[in-house]
Amino acid sequence: MAASTNTPEQLARKICANQGLSFIGEVGAGAFKKTFHVKRNHDDLALKLIIRGDDKARVDREIAALKICNHPNICRLLETDSIEDGEHSVTYLIEEFLPGGTLSDHLANGCLQHDKIVLLAVKLTEAICHLAQQRITHRDIKPDNIMFRADGMPVLVDLGIARHLEASSLTKTFLMQGPGTPLYASPEQLVNDKNLIDWRSDQFSLGVTLTYAAMGIHPFAENTSLEHTVERVANRLPATDNFKKLAHERE
């Protein structure tokens, strides 16, 4: 594949010029995407560039999932297209802009208050139910993939590894880890048992996320070793001593 002839920001500015958007600046970057804050008239939008062209199948999967989802707690896809960059094209998405940061950002200041935990639990459970009704599993629910609107409403983002349960799998086993982020993945994801990965896997990941948000501890972590925690999750061994210690500290 030919090398890119433009930086992501240069491409974003070209897209803005073509689409009648105002370029504001970069707001985030991941392994596969760069996200820019743009405006159309007075509306804030997020422009996401897919910067890894060899992941086209995953990009197509995310776009397909977003197109069939219509739920207030799942990020809204407004447009998708591509722009030429040398000898290849770069796919981009225009989505709603979420100015409230990620759950990870919020947790940097400590655990959430009870009312915010309840809001997260209710709204994200509703989002998972909607995905399940569409036969879609998110497979990577974690604090980084939960963002907030200006009014504090939580929104599930990044369906990059979401899978329609009737579609073929794109994920190969990597060591003992299947699709998702190890610390928040379900036991069946960690051993990549595709026959068992469904909405219940998302429910598990949400449960781990809510526990961490509410109590500041991972329900399966006994120490700081990622490998040890992953092994305990895979073998369904919650770290009950952590909860006993926390309960004692709060007495």
Task: Give the 3-state DSSP-derived string for 144-188, with helices as H, strands as E and coil as C.
Answer: HHEEECCCCCEEECCCCCCEECCCCCCCCCECCECCCCHHHCCHH
My answer on whether 121 and 231 are in the same domain is yes
Last residue of a domain, one of 35, 61, 96: 96
pLDDT at 218: 80
Rounded CA-CA distance 238/221 in Å is 8
Q: Which domain holds residue 18?
A: 8-96
Structural domains counted in the chain: 2
* 141-197 confidence digits (pLDDT tens): 999 999 999 999 999 998 765 554 444 443 433 333 444 577 888 887 887 777 778
My answer on whether 67 and 122 are in the same domain is no
My answer on whether 82 and 200 are in the same domain is no
pLDDT at 245: 60
* 115-138 confidence digits (pLDDT tens): 999 999 999 999 999 999 998 889
Residue 63 included in any domain = yes
pLDDT category at 242 given cuts 50, 70, 90 is low
Rounded CA-CA distance 138/199 in Å is 8
pLDDT at 214: 92
Total-model pTM: 0.83
CATH number assigned to the domain comprising residue 53: 3.30.200.20
